[in-house]
Structure 1
Amino acid sequence: MSTPSAPSAPSAPLDDPLARERSHLTRSRAALRAMREDAESLDIRDVAANWVNAQVLARQIDERIKALADLSDTPLFFGRLDYLHAPGADQAEGAEGERPRPEAAYQTLHIGRRHVHDVEGDPMVIDWRAPVSQPFYRASKKDPMDIALRRRFGYTGGDLTAYEDEHLSDPAEAAATSKLLQQEIERPRVGPMRDIVATIQPEQDEIVRSGLGGTVCVQGGPGTGKTAVGLHRVAYLLYAHRERLARTGTLVIGPNKSFLHYIEQVLPALGELTVRQATVDDLVGGRVEVRGTDEADAATLKGDARLAEVLRRAVYAHVTMPTEPVVVVRGSRRWRVPAYELEGAVRELLERGIRYGAAREALPQRVAHAVLVQMERAGEAPDDRVQDAVARNSAVKAAVKEIWPAVDPAKLVLRLLTDADFLAEHAEGILTGEEQKTILWAKPVRSVRSAKWSPADAVLIDEAADLVERTPSLGHVVLDEAQDLSPMQYRAVGRRCTTGSATVLGDLAQGTTPWATRSWDEALTHLGKADGVVEELTAGFRVPTDVITYASRLLPHIAPGLTPVASVRENPGFFDLRPITDTAEVVAACEELLRNEGSTGLIAADARIPALAEALTAAGIAHLAPGEETTARTRLTLVPASLAKGLEYDYVVLDEPQAVVDGEPDERTGLRRLYVALTRAVSGLIVTHATALPPQLAK
């Protein structure tokens, strides 16, 4: 394995491998520019038959132009494969029809973030998602996958400055750790999360390329790359199943807005611009305004899956069996449908288990059909138009309104939460009396609009709404930080992918809600994907060895069954436990870390944030809030511990670990919150404390 440095002079000899690679980069950028210009020159008037088609085509062209943007600081290709034999057409073809061509004795392919071809249609860069690119991530000395040479490239900004070769088919060359791979993993982080397309590891690649039809759950400790794996799986599925997912849609669900801001540039950097991002609260909050909060015990109970049955009972309790016949008058004739026949139709609809609203719409047709049967027996020949007219008859509509009335989901949930008798009727045998008191509102509420709905209430309304009318399903959903969801929240997400699949990402050790997931099998059951496959990532690429080793002291107390993350970083990282006496020393620690290249996060218990913000401002140190990391000029982010999950910084100052623990409703949740805060650093961590450290961190 070799890693030559870049010659600085532009007159590098043509037989210099780096000079040839730089030349290929220049030509590839020119080819990408030509592809973009071709897209920009398209005239939709030549191909669009009407205004609607023109608008659709214009949007598609605009997305194509954006996807072909050449970002100066983003490498166009990051690797190269030299095949011993030319790959077969089935392996070489990708979604955009890459057609590799022989070069000398090898089949040489440059691997990058998107496909680039020259004017003749021959590939200059192969999309990393194409089957022919797979050996870049999975080939090894043990299984070279017909690869003679794998080359990795090193960049400074957008300039190609180094390369590194592995001769996989040469038994004389010993396997070695990739220095460029380590450098890329440890490269300073400033701004939003970036893609890991150049550093995907074999175990990660297996998950990324798993099929669309199956649901995958990824258990991964801090720094194992589970979030990146989920996002790259979306990019891969959009490549491999673009037409299908264009029809059905994709969605990435994160824990909060700050997290979504942090990850929002990853997919666009990979050329994917159409994936929607949302929180669970976004999904379920459209029917009511969420303005309230619940106590922990009430929120936990409202998130219990047993509430689904309470809601089902309450919805279908509105159906009453008919006691009077329906008489339909048409002209001079009167047609009578007896009560027993109406009851049969109602019971048949109930037994079918279809949605409440769909059954309510079907009932008038059932009544109309009974009338048409009588008409035919009387010698008439009614058609479908007659049946529709009978279904709209005022007598039929009045009967349906009485038998199967409309249900407003928000009003139903409001009644359950405010009417003790109504709740007791439908929670009998499901919730105890004490549990019913826990979720009942203390004060009466006049209307849905005036109610102070909580996030957990909104999930209940979403469940009720799905009982009335089916929630549309997407083709694929990625659910990140899933360990913090309640069973009812899982059900809400599952409704969005009933006919699709999901990628579930999380870490049981980082569950920081009172209702945090106890097992992935249980979570997948609530999601409606009990057949999902659970994969575990244990190799840590982000958190330094010394930091993850210290944080793992908490695992026996918060998740005793989990395998500790094993850092694969050669650099052990910077780690310091620092006793202090006042806030000024916390500010000094931040100033110390800001002398390094990259980002710095100051993480503290939520209650400590105002005092720390004031101290930083007094010291003249600019700082951001989570989700605002968009500029390299301000490299310090002040992070409440409650928002630290999923974020990462080159250096972290963690203030007062015991305060982080004490800020949660119970010790176990607090220790999990502390575990999250301890594992946000990529290069170094300073723990400052004026009070004693939690005893669980003692050796």
Structure 2
Amino acid sequence: MPSRQLAPNITTGPSSAAPGGPGGESSPAETSAAGDLAAGDPATADPTATDLAAVDPSAAILAAEREHLAVSRAALRAMREHAQSLSSDAAGDWVSQQILQALLDQRVAALADHAGTPLFFGRLDRSADDDLPGTIHVGRRHVHDDRSRPLVIDWRAPVSRAFYQASPSDPMGVSLRRRFGYHGGDLTAFEDERLDQGQTLQQSKILTEEIERPRSGPMRDIVATIQPDQDEIVRSELGRTVCVQGAPGTGKTAVGLHRAAYLLFTHREKLARSGVMIVGPNRAFLSYISSVLPALGEIKVDQTTVAGILGDHSAPEDPAVSALKGDAKIVPVLERALWAHIVKPAEGLLVTKGSNRYRVADYEVREIVASLRGTTRYGPGRAALAQRLAHQVLVRMEQRGESPDDRVQDAVARSKPVKQLVDQVWPKLTPAQVLYRLFSDAEFLAAAAKNDLTADEQTALLWARPAKSFRSAKWSAADCALMDELADMIERTPSLGHLVVDEAQDLSSMQLRALGRRCRTGSATVLGDIAQGTTPWSARSWTEVLGHLGFADGAVTELVLGFRVPREVLDYAARLLPSVAPGLAAPRSLRPGAGSLSVRRTPDLAASLAEAAGRALAREGSIGVIVPDASVAAVSGMLSHLGHGVLAPDSTEDHRLLIVPATLAKGLEYDHVIVVEPADIVAAEPRGLARLYVVLTRAVTSLTVLHTKDLPAELT
């Protein structure tokens, strides 16, 4: 049952409502609104509910809302059954049938009812004078009855905005806002705010419990707990690029995913054509967030990593060399290297057709090449060269009194003499061919580098032992971004409708340029935290990131108020901020989390770790044991008796107890976190303190730090 008193002047029963309000004696207008909803408030028509209202008004309201939930679930099932009954046979041809069937399958999947998820989480009683119902229930998707009357309104609909934004100072036409508490899929409690009477909750118990609810498995959606500042970001316009600097626990990843869902709802047709893509740091992260969009009814969204886009090459490489390859100053070097393959024509063109010969002089060929070079991409320029040469041949034909048409020009462009000349002057190339020559030929690299690379930098880029050919070369992850840059210089990269990039602070300039090419529309959501930058090329400012993406006019929003990480834990991790990101404001948490932090030096790591893990297993929620990458095997042996999993870059482990390498912890959350040997995490990489900051902020309920070595000075 709901608690009786949650905040001054705010109760969970009719005592907080005006006469004739929810659960009380209904006015004719309210009875009509309830009838329009088909199950808006069964207490108005059910004698049993009326008797219950006289005994316990709160129980009557809860019973009525449960009835509305049951009716809504039945309506959703009917909607899904109707979608399943539709056939693609009505489409004319086989291709149309396949397209229609795919759309029907997507519709059926989007209408799936998740039994453990609330179908609606809020209600608005509206005083606005418009054509919409006076009472609406806000939920994860739209549900209507068999007469198309709305039972649940999608949280993304314009009218639902008031659920997140309305306040006593600006009620937005809302007289009452109600939040629902659930256990599994069952409605268990409610809280009311009478906005028309200036009442609002200082702290919602239902909101707090939902935020703090122990988690297991993948990330959940946050539609029931979106805060006003988060909602502003989520509902940003399609054509606007939004960059979110978010401290740990502020929900930046969830905000980015919900913005994608909002845009798909608002601009369905446009984005269905152009596509939406989510780019995360690794496969483990994608597995963690994989269920958020499907839970919101959005199943047609690509989720991938940078490696999934650019190529999954991972040859070992000196970090300093990778950082050099990731610097945008290499772009003009690549451009000169590509166009250097065009050579000056040594002779003209001779085309024979029957007994006639048609000649294009060498100087004319040079003029055509010069006019095309640098004015188009390499691939289209090569095709244009063949057409221009063929056109000159057609001019000669016409001068002889012939009447050639476009078909003749295309045939000449495909003729052997033209193909041979084009191959000689403007050879067909792949990105790998250009990059192989650049890194294996010192003279070619020097000519392409000019003043953009120093002699030492050129030496660093050259392969000590070049492969026999570009086909057998071993490419690094940094090389993939260079080849993608070259590929775009050769042929234009197709663009998406919207791009969501998470952990963007860890991407190199060249990787950012590659992602920006895939979103030339300027519609993107960029997420990250400068303080969590752990790569050698991590960004120092969002202005720099947006510039490389090509969205220099993007708006930067900072989220500093945390909802997930307890304050005690966040304050402890924030001791590292002056060293890793001195320009950022210290994050704040709404949750005090007294007793959530334990830092212990131990002479027997194995015994202390087993004890801490056993204590966490006795509590509810997920457990992440975050360790230096080099210690994974050793720690796994220490916990072998507890039945655990080990997180790998491409794994989708769902064990309750997981051993997590420190380099894979970014973006993940666990109810209980045990961090082993912080000093070794710091020592493992140049930006080790930033890695430790990431590791220390993964806990939602408790953090235990175990160490045998001295802690970093910043923590002591």
Rounded Cα–Cα distance in structure 2 between residues aligned with 1:174 and 1:214: 32
Which residue of the partner structure matches residue 670 of structure 1?
A: 688
1:84 to 2:127 alignment: yes
- Aligned to 2:71, which of 11, 18, 27? 27
Question: For each residue in 1:129-156, what CA deviation from the matched residue of structure 2 results, as whole angstroms up to 9, or x when unmatched?
Answer: 0001001111112211111111110000
Which residue of the partner structure matches residue 452 of structure 2?
A: 430
What secondary structure does 2:586 align onto? Answer: coil
Which residue of the partner structure matches residue 414 of structure 2?
A: 392
Code of the residue aligned with 2:418 in structure 1: it is V
Contact map agreement 1:474 1:500 (CA 8 A) in 2: no
What secondary structure does 1:145 align onto? Answer: coil
Code of the residue aligned with 1:176 in structure 2: it is Q
Superposition deviation, residue 84 in structure 1:
1.1
Which residue of the partner structure matches residue 626 of structure 2?
A: 603
Contact map agreement 1:31 1:118 (CA 8 A) in 2: yes
Contact map agreement 2:167 2:200 (CA 8 A) in 1: no
Distance 1:14 1:355, change over 3 A: farther
Superposition deviation, residue 473 in structure 1:
1.0
Distance 1:14 1:365, change over 3 A: farther
- Aligned to 1:68, which of 103, 107, 111? 111
Which residue of the partner structure matches residue 644 of structure 1?
A: 665
Question: For each residue in 1:583-642, what CA deviation from the matched residue of structure 2 results, as whole angstroms up to 9, or x when unmatched?
Answer: 21012111112211111111111112111100000x3343342676665xx421111110
Contact map agreement 2:530 2:540 (CA 8 A) in 1: yes
Question: For each residue in 1:62-110, what CA deviation from the matched residue of structure 2 results, as whole angstroms up to 9, or x when unmatched?
Answer: 111111111110100011111112445xxxxxxxxxxx33xxxxx1100
Question: For each residue in 1:186-241, what CA deviation from the matched residue of structure 2 results, as whole angstroms up to 9, or x when unmatched?
Answer: 01011110111111111111111111112111111101111001101110111111
State the percentage of identical aligned residues. 56
- Aligned to 2:389, which of 326, 351, 367? 367
1:656 to 2:677 alignment: yes
Question: For each residue in 1:244-268, what CA deviation from the matched residue of structure 2 results, as whole angstroms up to 9, or x when unmatched?
Answer: 1111111100001110111111100
Question: For each residue in 1:452-490, what CA deviation from the matched residue of structure 2 results, as whole angstroms up to 9, or x when unmatched?
Answer: 211111221221111111111111111100110000111
Superposition deviation, residue 344 in structure 1:
2.0
1:53 to 2:76 alignment: no
Rounded Cα–Cα distance in structure 2 between residues aligned with 1:350 and 1:533: 37
Equivalent residues in 2 for 1:85-164 (5 A)? 85-87=128-130, 100-101=132-133, 107-164=134-191
Which residue of the partner structure matches residue 220 of structure 1?
A: 246
Code of the residue aligned with 1:153 in structure 2: it is F
Which residue of the partner structure matches residue 346 of structure 1?
A: 369
Rounded Cα–Cα distance in structure 1 between residues aligned with 2:411 and 2:623: 70
Rounded Cα–Cα distance in structure 1 between residues aligned with 2:81 and 2:595: 46
Rounded Cα–Cα distance in structure 2 between residues aligned with 1:435 and 1:477: 33
1:525 to 2:527 alignment: no
Rounded Cα–Cα distance in structure 1 between residues aligned with 2:522 and 2:200: 45
Distance 1:380 1:274, change over 3 A: same
Contact map agreement 1:235 1:270 (CA 8 A) in 2: yes
Rounded Cα–Cα distance in structure 2 between residues aligned with 1:267 and 1:175: 29
TM-score of the pair, normalised by structure 2? 0.90
Rounded Cα–Cα distance in structure 2 between residues aligned with 1:571 and 1:691: 27
The higher relative CO (CA closer than 8 Å, separation ≥ 6) is in 1
Greater CA drift, 302-311 or 495-504: 495-504
Distance 1:2 1:448, change over 3 A: farther
Superposition deviation, residue 377 in structure 1:
3.6
Rounded Cα–Cα distance in structure 2 between residues aligned with 1:629 and 1:148: 46
- Aligned to 1:482, which of 504, 516, 524? 504
Rounded Cα–Cα distance in structure 1 between residues aligned with 2:435 and 2:77: 56
TM-score of the pair, normalised by structure 1? 0.93
Rounded Cα–Cα distance in structure 1 between residues aligned with 2:431 and 2:688: 36
- Aligned to 1:243, which of 269, 273, 287? 269
Greater CA drift, 447-456 or 676-685: 447-456
Contact map agreement 1:191 1:629 (CA 8 A) in 2: no
Which residue of the partner structure matches residue 96 of structure 1?
A: none
Contact map agreement 1:250 1:476 (CA 8 A) in 2: yes
Greater CA drift, 58-67 or 322-331: 322-331
Superposition deviation, residue 581 in structure 1:
1.1
Superposition deviation, residue 291 in structure 1:
4.6
Rounded Cα–Cα distance in structure 1 between residues aligned with 2:94 and 2:111: 26
Question: For each residue in 1:390-415, what CA deviation from the matched residue of structure 2 results, as whole angstroms up to 9, or x when unmatched?
Answer: 21222211111111111121121112
1:303 to 2:326 alignment: yes
Superposition deviation, residue 174 in structure 1:
5.3
Rounded Cα–Cα distance in structure 2 between residues aligned with 1:421 and 1:23: 79
Rounded Cα–Cα distance in structure 2 between residues aligned with 1:529 and 1:573: 44
Which residue of the partner structure matches residue 26 of structure 2?
A: none
Equivalent residues in 2 for 1:159-308 (5 A)? 159-171=186-198, 173=199, 175-285=201-311, 290-308=313-331
- Aligned to 2:360, which of 337, 347, 359? 337
Code of the residue aligned with 2:127 in structure 1: it is L
Which residue of the partner structure matches residue 690 of structure 1?
A: 708
Contact map agreement 1:335 1:371 (CA 8 A) in 2: yes
Which residue of the partner structure matches residue 421 of structure 1?
A: 443
Question: For each residue in 1:103-127, what CA deviation from the matched residue of structure 2 results, as whole angstroms up to 9, or x when unmatched?
Answer: xxxx110000000000000100000
Greater CA drift, 211-220 or 440-449: 440-449
What secondary structure does 1:651 align onto? Answer: strand
Rounded Cα–Cα distance in structure 1 between residues aligned with 2:508 and 2:653: 32
Rounded Cα–Cα distance in structure 2 between residues aligned with 1:280 and 1:229: 20
Superposition deviation, residue 449 in structure 1:
3.4
Superposition deviation, residue 350 in structure 1:
1.6
Rounded Cα–Cα distance in structure 1 between residues aligned with 2:93 and 2:139: 37
Greater CA drift, 317-326 or 249-258: 317-326
Contact map agreement 1:116 1:125 (CA 8 A) in 2: yes
Rounded Cα–Cα distance in structure 1 between residues aligned with 2:193 and 2:539: 43
Equivalent residues in 2 for 1:433-512 (5 A)? 433-499=455-521, 501-512=523-534
What secondary structure does 1:79 align onto? Answer: strand
Distance 1:499 1:358, change over 3 A: farther
Matched residue count: 666
Contact map agreement 1:303 1:486 (CA 8 A) in 2: yes
Contact map agreement 2:277 2:301 (CA 8 A) in 1: yes
Rounded Cα–Cα distance in structure 2 between residues aligned with 1:140 and 1:572: 31
Contact map agreement 1:44 1:58 (CA 8 A) in 2: yes
Contact map agreement 1:2 1:163 (CA 8 A) in 2: no
Code of the residue aligned with 1:65 in structure 2: it is V
Which residue of the partner structure matches residue 92 of structure 1?
A: none
- Aligned to 1:43, which of 59, 78, 87? 87
Which residue of the partner structure matches residue 95 of structure 1?
A: none
Rounded Cα–Cα distance in structure 2 between residues aligned with 1:638 and 1:426: 47
Superposition deviation, residue 339 in structure 1:
2.1
Rounded Cα–Cα distance in structure 1 between residues aligned with 2:431 and 2:273: 29
Contact map agreement 1:4 1:162 (CA 8 A) in 2: no
Rounded Cα–Cα distance in structure 2 between residues aligned with 1:374 and 1:498: 42
What secondary structure does 1:416 align onto? Answer: helix
Code of the residue aligned with 2:146 in structure 1: it is V
Contact map agreement 2:283 2:651 (CA 8 A) in 1: no
Greater CA drift, 435-444 or 258-267: 435-444
Contact map agreement 2:276 2:498 (CA 8 A) in 1: yes
